[in-house]
A and B are shown apart, each in its own frame.
Chain A
Amino acid sequence: MERYVKLKSLLLIPAVMLCLSACTASPENGGDGTDKPAETENAETAAATAAVDFDHELDGYEPARNSYNFYFTYKTVHPWWDAVALGMEDAQRQFLEKGITVTYEYMAPDAASAEDQISRLHMAENAGYDVIGVDVADEDIISPVLDEMAAKGTKIMTFSSSDAAEGCKRIAYVGNTHNYEDGADLTEALCEKLGYKGKVAILVGSKGAPCHEDRARGAADTIAKYENMQIVATEYDMDSIDLAYELTLKILEETPDLDGIICCNMSNPVGAARAITEKNNPAVIVGMDHDQEALHYLKDGVIYCLGVQDCYSIGFDTLQIAVKIADGNKPGELFPEKTNEITTVIYQKDAAMMLELLYGDVL
């Protein structure tokens, strides 16, 4: 028995180390898909699977009612939020299996717009939903609206990529709470790759979108640490791949010796990679999220690394916390005021597994 325990310990130690290394893959710990020796297949699988957790079960909370009706609005129609939707649908199915009917709307405009979001919020405010969830399009504009609604008794929560401004009266936020760190991590990886010298550009998503702005700040602050690194441009693509592509072409024209591009949202790296490929430019791209095209660029080595957010978990947790909020619960033991969903930095070696995992596609 003692021998068995020792053997088990011997096996467990490397297994735990493997998981830890996979879960904490980041520029600081040297995750590298091209220059470093390849990890084992298990490690690659672990890195990819750790990025998105599909295995969820509702916690032990017993809802007070048999039916709920929610309204969620997010920044823009985009595959990133489709992944969030899948997590929400999983939670909805699990509630239904427990005999609790959850209905909801999950709506967004074709292009990010704070004005459109305000109109949707006003419409929803008068429709009697149990909870309204918002992925804040612009924290400066939307946060006051949310405060007004909260003051009238509407139960408001924020979710997915962007929280409201600090001090907003929304009840809770479910989503990425470390956008600044994500921007800093990606930039650190780029700096290391470039040998801590060179000219870089920053592509941001929607102007005012807290998640995008936070990542851009994280990127800028990291660049500022290294005296031989220089930011030559900062541009907003307004969550449009086409615009990201055009902006990258423009930056390359203005700075032909560009060394790297830091992409702060899902559309940025796709547009940047298209332009880089077209111009056969050696600039190193780091970016956010798991767009299928971006993953192919990662697999082909055009993109150096991607920060993948666990959208599925964000969606699942959003619906579960919405039920608790609808029952009148406040942040505390049942749910935190801000969740801490993970972001995993993946490299070329992880790309095929991630494509297989998310899209069933490795070609």
Chain B
Amino acid sequence: MKKKKRITQKTFVFTAVIGSVLIMAILAVSTLWSSKMTNSATNEAVSAVSEFYLEAMADRRAKTITNLINNNFDQMEKAMAFIADEDIRTQEDLRLSIGRIKSLLSLDRFAVVDSDNVVYTRYTTYTGGSRHSFLAEEKMDEREISTVLMYGSSKQLCLAAPAQGIKLMGKNIKACFVQIDIKEIVDLLAFDDQGRTYFALYSQNGENLSGTELGPYIADKNLFEAVKGVVPDDEWNLNRDNFSNGSGGSITFTADGAEETLCYVPIAGTDWKMAVLIHESVIHDTIRDISEKSMAVSRNQIIAILVLVLLFAFILIAEFGVLSHYKVEDEMEKSKNLHTMANTDSMTGVRNKHAYSYIETELNEKIKNKEIGNLAVIVCDVNGLKLINDTQGHAAGDKLIKDASKLICEYFPHGAVFRIGGDEFTVILKEKGYDTMNETIPEFNRKVEENIKTGDVVISIGYSALKPEDEQLHDVFERADHMMYKRKKELKEMGAPTRPE
């Protein structure tokens, strides 16, 4: 028959630990996989979003510049109307008027030009024919937008408008213009980029007008010079064409190991382009920061859950161990109790017939093997139980049995007392009990005889010691039983109660 395997506590703990480790490993792998998938999805999203985002950003700023230009032209018209109404007779009068225009209309570098190309500003008067491209023509008919080179300083946006019908100090006024620092304009446009997006303004040939750096690679260099060699020739030519014909577009290139994307849009009313560049890594980083924060939260949650699970697992295992221990103890106690119950006479508290049979088997084995020395058996029979039961009831009979048991136990404290029948008891004497039986048995018999007179319990006993020729306990028991019957007769004759005839 196959031996049944038993689950031990050790096995259980081992299984729990392996299970927990497996759960942790699965959670970790699943977290890593989720992270990888998130990054991959992020990259795809970045590629899809960045170009659109940049174009929208460039377009928004291009419109802001267009509005700024238009607002300035409107202000210049008001300024010329203001000057026309002023009583200007001297150069000083004109300078003061220009000063007032600065305060009233916020036109910082406003100037008027006469027909000799003499330029009048708030503080200076100069011949400007070679300095301002819009003065190249003798007559000016339309508004012109150009840049003024500041020789190493920032470039300025020059908005010039023709002036008609205005005469100052005896000279016809040809035009007026304002100069605006382009770098300041572009710096103002960087209102929401938090220093992570680059803006620059370019002329038709890719020249940087704003002096702002379009990222570390292109910096403030000519756009096409800078990207030559890092974008394919056909793309380079396409973008040059876009710049020439006033179209928008985008350039993506890899420089110094980083992928960069720039978008440019035309600025209405000018030949310029507004370009916005952002490192793809910035978008990546931004989104990755967000996802990493999110993943970090998830990771922490998972770790916290794992720790809690492990903690609870350990507590449960510990509790289970304790409970198992208690249960085993309970079971052992229960088993012991059952064993006790199975071997004890419930009425008298001494061992019963079952216990006697068990002991008899054990002793028989020892007798057979000659492993036992001194042994004696006392067979006891309670006199008059039937009579008591019949005349006084079973309760009195039970009391009689209990008194008998008590008496036997009292006189044979070193013997093993068994109730083997309704009114029958057996005492097995070994060692001290055996050694003292010659004193105790006569004392017991004397007591019984006294009890006849007093009406207390009367017990007939017979006894026999183990003899060498005995093969089993029953041989001893038979002799003792035989003797007990003799004694029973003697006691009857002495007046002991007996069952009715």
Contact = CB atoms under 8 A, between A and B. Distances in A.
Nearest to B95: A103
Interface stretch (B54-62, B72-80, B147-155): B147-155
Interface string B116-133: 011000011111011100
Contact of B149 (A77, A105, A359): A359
A86 B129 CA distance: 15
A89 B127 contact: no
B415 interface: no
A77 B127 contact: yes
Contacts of A82: 130-131
B207 interface: yes
Interface stretch (A17-25, A106-114, A145-153, A253-261): A106-114
A88 to B, nearest CB: 8
A79 interface: yes
B127 A107 contact: yes
Contacts of A90: 153
A88 B362 CA distance: 131
Nearest to A92: B123
Contacts of B224: 363
B210 to A, nearest CB: 10
Contacts of B123: 92, 96, 101-104
Interface in B126-181: 126-127, 129-131, 149-153, 155
Max chain B CB contacts within 10 Å: which of A81, A88, A358, A363? A363
B288 to A, nearest CB: 35
Contacts of B50: none
B130 A360 contact: no
A85 B123 CA distance: 13
Contact of B206 (A52, A89, A101, A363): A363
Nearest to B92: A103
Interface in A21-36: none
B225 interface: yes
A89 B95 CA distance: 16
Nearest to B129: A77
Given A86-B151, A96-B123, A105-B125, A79 B222 contact: no
B383 interface: no
B207 A361 contact: yes
Given A79-B130, A82-B131, A101-B123, A362 B221 contact: yes
- What's the interface size class on B, roughly? 20 to 34
A52 B152 contact: yes
Given A83-B151, A358-B151, A363-B205, A107 B125 contact: yes
A52 to B, nearest CB: 7
A360 B149 contact: yes
A310 B44 CA distance: 54
A102 B122 CA distance: 10
Interface residues of A, number: 33
B124 A105 contact: yes
A217 interface: no
Contacts of A92: 123-124
B209 interface: yes
A199 to B, nearest CB: 34
Interface string A302-338: 0000000000100000000000000000000000000
B136 to A, nearest CB: 12
A96 B108 CA distance: 14
A54 interface: yes
Contacts of A96: 123
A306 to B, nearest CB: 16
Nearest to A85: B126
Interface string A340-363: 000000000000000011111111
A193 interface: no
B225 A362 contact: yes
B208 interface: yes
A127 to B, nearest CB: 9
A78 interface: yes
A89 B128 CA distance: 14
Contacts of A89: 124
B151 to A, nearest CB: 5
A326 B429 CA distance: 147
Nearest to B149: A359
Given A363-B205, A363-B225, A358 B126 contact: no
Given A85-B131, A360-B209, A361-B207, A106 B153 contact: no
B50 to A, nearest CB: 29
B127 to A, nearest CB: 5
A77 B119 CA distance: 13
Contacts of A102: 123
Nearest to B155: A360
A108 B127 contact: yes
Contact of B150 (A79, A86, A107, A110): A86
A81 B118 CA distance: 14
Contacts of A361: 205, 207, 222
Nearest to A88: B124
B131 to A, nearest CB: 4
Interface in B203-246: 205-209, 211, 221-222, 224-225
A352 B104 CA distance: 43
A341 to B, nearest CB: 15
B163 to A, nearest CB: 21
Contact of B126 (A79, A107, A110, A363): A107
Given A52-B151, A86-B151, A360 B207 contact: yes
A144 B445 CA distance: 175
Contact of B222 (A83, A357, A363): A363
Nearest to B132: A82
A110 B129 contact: yes
Nearest to A358: B151
Interface string B94-126: 010000000000000000000001100001111
B152 A357 contact: yes
B225 A106 contact: no
A110 B118 CA distance: 11
B227 to A, nearest CB: 13
Contacts of A105: 91, 124-126
A358 B127 CA distance: 20
Nearest to A87: B151
Max chain B CB contacts within 10 Å: which of A96, A107, A357, A362? A362
B71 to A, nearest CB: 25
A78 B130 contact: yes
29 contacts: A52-B151, A52-B152, A54-B153, A77-B129, A77-B130, A79-B130, A81-B130, A85-B126, A88-B124, A90-B153, A101-B123, A104-B123, A105-B91, A105-B125, A106-B124, A106-B126, A107-B118, A107-B126, A107-B127, A108-B127, A356-B221, A357-B151, A358-B151, A360-B209, A360-B211, A361-B207, A362-B207, A363-B207, A363-B222
Interface of B: 91, 95, 117-118, 123-127, 129-131, 149-153, 155, 205-209, 211, 221-222, 224-225
Interface of A: 52, 54, 77-79, 81-83, 85-86, 88-90, 92, 96, 101-108, 110, 312, 356-363
The 3 closest A-B CB pairs, nearest first, are A54-B152, A106-B126, A105-B125
Given A77-B129, A361-B207, A362-B221, 12 more contacts: A54-B153, A82-B130, A85-B131, A88-B124, A105-B125, A106-B125, A107-B125, A356-B221, A360-B207, A361-B205, A363-B207, A363-B225
